[in-house]
A = this chain, B = another copy of it.
Amino acid sequence: MTKALERREKQRADLILSAERMIATRGLAGLKTRDLAREIGCANGAVYNLVADVDELVLRVGSRTLLRLDEALSAAVRAGNPSPKETLVRIAIAYCDFAAENLQLWRALFEHRMETEKALPDWSVDDQLQLFRHIYQPLAALLPKRDAEELGITARSLFSAVHGMVALGLEQRLVAVPLPALRKEIASLVRAMIDGLVAQAA
């Protein structure tokens, strides 16, 4: 019994890694159960012994991506010892860089939601909220008069604004923006947002 379960877990891990590789190279739409089955060496039907459906598979890959994103943002905060304002700029730039370097996996994070209506499992929701904590602390230092709830909302807004710039900036359909220019733009607008918020609070 232990042997079988071990093998199962091993294959499950293989499956998720294969799915991750496949999304990274061919995009979310390029993820096919039959190709996955061939890659990990099993029948296509066997995929459903390892995972309930592709939705779960995508969410598991997404969870890994969020983890790596979290690490990237943590590293950006850790480097040097800048002011709260520059910390927030670094986080934004790090988010942009991560998205550019993991374009397809990062996109999959947001593309997938639209397709299914069913609620997300808890293990998937938790990760997402963790991201805001990187923003929360520097923001609290800059806006000492705001209470925790206000800070949470503002942190989310700040994140969303940067996300929008990255999302539309990395889109090739509109005018293609070279990555260095995008980074500069993001840094500039983040500084503007922070300056504006601090000025409003004064």
Contact = CB atoms under 8 A, between A and B. Distances in A.
Interface of A: 27-29, 107, 111, 113-115, 120, 125, 128-129, 153-154, 156-165, 167-169, 171, 173-175, 181, 185-186, 188-189, 191-197, 199-200
Contacts of A174: 125, 128-129
SS of A interface (majority):
helix
Given A156-B175, A191-B200, A195-B200, 18 more contacts: A120-B173, A125-B174, A128-B173, A154-B185, A157-B186, A160-B164, A160-B165, A160-B168, A161-B164, A161-B165, A163-B164, A164-B165, A167-B167, A189-B197, A192-B192, A192-B195, A192-B200, A193-B196
Q: Copy number in this complex?
A: 2
A118 B175 CA distance: 15
Contacts of A162: 161, 164
Contacts of A169: 160
Given A160-B164, A164-B160, A114 B196 contact: no
A125 B194 CA distance: 33
Nearest to A197: B192
Contact of A114 (B27, B129, B192, B195): B27
